[in-house]
Structure 1
Amino acid sequence: MGHATGGPESDKRRLRRELLATRSALTADGLREAAGALARRALDLPELARAGTVAAYVSVGAEPGTLALLDALRARGVKVLLPVLLPDNDLDWGAYDGEGSLTRVRHGGRMALFEPSGERLGPDAVTDADVVLLPGLAVDGRGMRLGRGGGSYDRVLARLERAGARPSLVVLLYDGEVVARVPEEAHDAPVHAVVTPSGVRRFT
């Protein structure tokens, strides 16, 4: 495609900018309410009810909040894996042992992330997960996810594919982030469900 304007990549960039601007306008109260509603909706998912191991992430900034959900899963006896960003943008994993087990890590010029401070389990640990909670900015009616553009989760999804692992892929979003269409590229694969504060939508 070279430097031609348009195409999925520039469409994705434009959509990302719009969605991030909307998120950054949310109030602290709005964020807290959404996080509580998301946790309740997600905990009702049969996939999460059955899961022994869930790969998740700690929300940062105005992302849909995940901590309430992580704590509830842990209280159920679920093993929760959290990502550790590697220098090449791939992800290692560690177990979540409560909020006290998180360390704030700044990666270059990017926003600080909260990562598990315990033992590193290796990038392949994610292949044991029954459910993978994916961060995203939007999902469309076909289940195509718009990620943040770092490519870390593309690597995770490719690793799951190679391992023949078939976890349920679930994205946590705000209500307005289920959109008509996400620009896709050849390697993009749909997720199984999206959870928003107002409900769950499944994709076949």
Structure 2
Amino acid sequence: MVIAMDMPGERDKHAWRTEILARRAAKTAEEYAADALALAAAVDGLDVGEWVCAYVPVRGEPGSTGLLDALRVAGARVLVPVTGPPGPLNWAEYTGRESLRRARFGLLEPAGETLPVSAIRSAELILVPALAVDRRGVRLGRGAGYYDRTLAAARPDARLVAVVGDDELVPRLPEEPHDRRMAWALTPRGGLQRLGEDHAVE
């Protein structure tokens, strides 16, 4: 199905966010569950390494704790964000759904030791939630800037993967100087897909 979101245009980030959030809100629980299962299955195609930074999905974000569990089964130790004041994210190790507790902003976070932002440097693979990502690697987040500030602390050779819905991988998004480009996209049915100028659609 071809949708309007797949057409490049001059919309600003606010317009993109409004449209994508409306699409997510319209999805059924069954559609979300099917996408989450597909993303967890896609872990088979990832070189996870010893440590992975990922996230606990909330508010319609792609994925589930099943994805985190699949990363652990693949042999990785998994760090997920712990929020604080606006700024870089702290981290804590995910050891299973039973380790999560309710935190601010309605998030779920591990109850264990909180690690500083520098913990992100242990990860060779970083799965980043996104509202959309384009073929050049430009990521659209929710606008708070947590990840932009956090990814500045990542190791230079870390593989940055935007996790999005199949229809949220688009030709072109607006970009700002501080935006950190992603190298890959992970989608439920497309799996892991390489991004970058050579893969862009003009």
Structure 1, unaligned stretches of length 5 or more? Answer: 1-9
**1:80 — aligned with what?**
78
Alignment of 1:1-204 (within 5 A): 11-45=12-46, 47-48=47-48, 51-107=49-105, 112-160=106-154, 164-199=155-190, 200-204=192-196
- What is the distance in 1 between the residues matched to 2:21 and 2:112? 31
- What is the distance in 2 between the residues matched to 1:17 and 1:127? 33
CA contact (8 A) 2:100 2:108 kept: yes
TM-score, normalising length from structure 2? 0.87
Structure 2, unaligned stretches of length 5 or more? Answer: 1-10, 197-202
The alignment's C-alpha RMSD in Å is 1.4
SS at match of 1:201: strand
**1:4 — aligned with what?**
none
Structure 2 letter corresponding to 1:124: S
Stretches of 4+ aligned residues off by more than 2 angstroms: none
> CA separation of 1:172/1:24 partners in 2, compared to 1, >3 Å: closer, same or farther?
same
Cα distance, 1:134 vs. partner? 0.4
CA contact (8 A) 1:171 1:195 kept: yes
TM-score, normalising length from structure 1? 0.86
Cα distance, 1:66 vs. partner? 3.0
Identical amino acids, percent of aligned pairs: 46
